[in-house]
């Protein structure tokens, strides 16, 4: 594994040797819409500029709800409770069910190249690759971490991370949440029971099913950076592209509430 920010690690993918080089963007925008737009902008920018990989870390200043691209708002969200609490509801471009994010929830997004990692075109391999790297990096700090369901990470029988992906022609975006100091009771206040549940949930409500990692933010951040060996920092996100996406999608009720 690389020992400093200038080294590159050789990887082997299906008989081909390629260079792996993942940049780091530690950046939180002011609004939920802008933050979701940056995740998508990183994917689109990689598509436009050729093989490129990056890891983004961010943490929202205020709570909000994010639903999956195909989610039905009324089916997954307690809409009136969110309105009364002033909690915005936004839709992401990746799949999966609704989540609640906010302070105490570290968000990550990793953009990976199919040219550099052709095996990731298989979705099950993509899930195992990303979640496997994260779980291995967390294990020395919190004990055994397991991949559960389609794209959850859990300690024992309690989920602390939900994840989703978006695939394009040459890259994929894999992003998710890691709870470390989040008021878990808020999840049940603002979300319905999800319409699709992994077997290991066994019908538990949000409070019994979800838990925080016993890890502070700095150590959690360091573990994610180590998981992807992402040490060469990017100066800023693709702002112009993110602004276009925010205006086209994430700030528009027609997008967020279309189902």
Query: pLDDT per residue over 216-255, tens digit each?
Result: 999 999 999 999 999 889 989 999 999 999 999 999 999 9
3-state secondary structure the chain: CCCCCCCCEEEEECCEEEEECEEEEECCCCCHHHHHHHHHHHHHHHHHHCCCEEEEEECCCCCEEEECCCCCHHHHECHHHHHHHCCCEEECCCCCCCEEECCCEEEEEEEEECCCCHHHHCHHHHHHHHHHHHHHHHHHHHCCCEEECCCEEEECCEEEEEEEEEECCCEEEEEEEEECCCCCHHHHHHECCCCCCCHHHCCCCHHHHECCCCCCHHHHHHHHHHHHCCCEECCCCCHHHHHHHHHHHHCCHHHHCCC
Tokens of 198: 């992994």
Angle between the 217-228 and 123-142 helix axes, to the nearest 10 degrees? 140
11-251 in CATH: which number?
3.30.930.10
| Among the listed residues 91, 17, 23, the one whose alpha carbon sits nearest the alpha carbon of residue 54 | 23
pLDDT tier at 20, thresholds 50, 70, 90 = low
Half-sphere exposure at residue 21, Cβ-oriented, CA atoms within 13 angstroms:
11
pTM of the predicted model as reported, rounded to 2 decimal places: 0.90
Per-residue pLDDT tens over the stretch 31-53? 999 999 999 999 999 999 988 99
């Amino acid at each position: 594994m690389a020992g400093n920010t200038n080294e590159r690690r050789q990887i082997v993918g299906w008989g081909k040797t390629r260079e792996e080089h993942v940049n780091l963007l530690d950046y939180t925008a002011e609004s939920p819409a802008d933050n979701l737009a940056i995740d998508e902008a990183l994917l689109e920018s990689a598509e436009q500029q050729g093989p490129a990989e990056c890891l983004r870390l961010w943490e929202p200043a205020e709570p909000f709800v994010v639903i999956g691209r195909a989610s039905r708002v009324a089916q997954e969200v307690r809409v009136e409770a969110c309105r009364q609490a002033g909690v915005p509801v936004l839709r992401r471009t990746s799949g999966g069910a609704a989540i609640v994010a906010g302070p105490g929830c570290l968000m990550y997004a990793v953009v990976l190249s199919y040219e550099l990692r052709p095996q990731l075109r298989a979705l099950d391999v993509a899930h195992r690759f990303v979640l496997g790297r994260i779980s291995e990096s967390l294990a020395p700090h919190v004990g055994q971490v397991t991949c559960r369901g389609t794209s959850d990470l859990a300690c024992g029988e309690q989920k602390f991370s939900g994840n989703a992906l978006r695939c394009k022609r040459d890259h994929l975006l894999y992003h998710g949440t890691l709870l470390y100091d989040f008021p878990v009771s808020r999840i049940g206040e603002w979300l319905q029971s999800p319409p699709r549940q992994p077997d290991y949930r066994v019908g538990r409500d949000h409070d019994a099913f979800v838990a925080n990692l016993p890890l502070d933010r700095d150590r959690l951040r360091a573990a994610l950076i180590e998981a992807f060996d992402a040490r060469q920092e990017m100066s800023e996100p693709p702002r112009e592209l993110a602004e276009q996406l925010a205006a086209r999608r994430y700030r528009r009720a027609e997008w967020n509430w279309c189902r």
